[in-house]
Amino acid sequence: GAGVSQTPSNKVTEKGKYVELRCDPISGHTALYWYRQSLGQGPEFLIYFQGTGAADDSGLPNDRFFAVRPEGSVSTLKIQRTERGDSAMYLCASSVRFYQETQYFGPGTRLLVL
């Protein structure tokens, strides 16, 4: 079946603009995670959803970052007033249940803030 998909694959924006990054998890997966990966680093946890609710958003760096998952499937990561330091690869992953430890990752969205 289809894996986790993310759109767009690349996003270039200007400092101060608003961006939305989309994640389509594997069908039937109730757990969804967002990570941020800077060049030469490992993924850094941002937020975790179980169903429609954010069970843990402690990794969001500040209040410019927000994520939603209104119907328990597709999720959108929203970044307001982007800064150059937000440039990174944003990864989404899903798993069957929150306690299932195998996460399936999408290909990522590379965000560049000029």
Partner 1 sequence: GNSVTQMEGPVTLSEEAFLTINCTYTATGYPSLFWYVQYPGEGLQLLLKATKADDKGSNKGFEATYRKETTSFHLEKGSVQVSDSAVYFCALKGTGGFKTIFGAGTRLFVKA
Q: Which of 20, 74, 105, 110 binds partner 1 (CB under 8 A)?
A: 105
DSSP lists the bridge partners of residue 67 as 77
Of 19-27, 37-45, 66-74, 77-85, which segment contacts partner 1 by CB under 8 A? Answer: 37-45
Please tell me the count of residues contacting partner 1 according to CB under 8 A: 25
Residue 45 is a binding residue for partner 1 (CB under 8 A): yes
Please give the Cα distance from 59 to 36 (Å, whole number). Answer: 10
Please give the Cα distance from 50 to 64 (Å, whole number). Answer: 22
Q: CB of 91: closest distance to partner 1 in angstroms?
A: 7
Amino acid at 36: R
CB 90 within 8 A of CB 77: yes
Q: CB of 90: closest distance to partner 1 in angstroms?
A: 12
Q: Tell me the C-alpha to C-alpha distance, in Å, between residue 27 and each of 34, 79, 94.
A: 17, 25, 9
Closer by beta carbon to partner 1, 5 or else 76 = 5
Residues lying near partner 1 in the complex (CB under 8 A): 3-4, 33, 40-45, 48, 55-56, 58-59, 91, 93, 98, 101-108
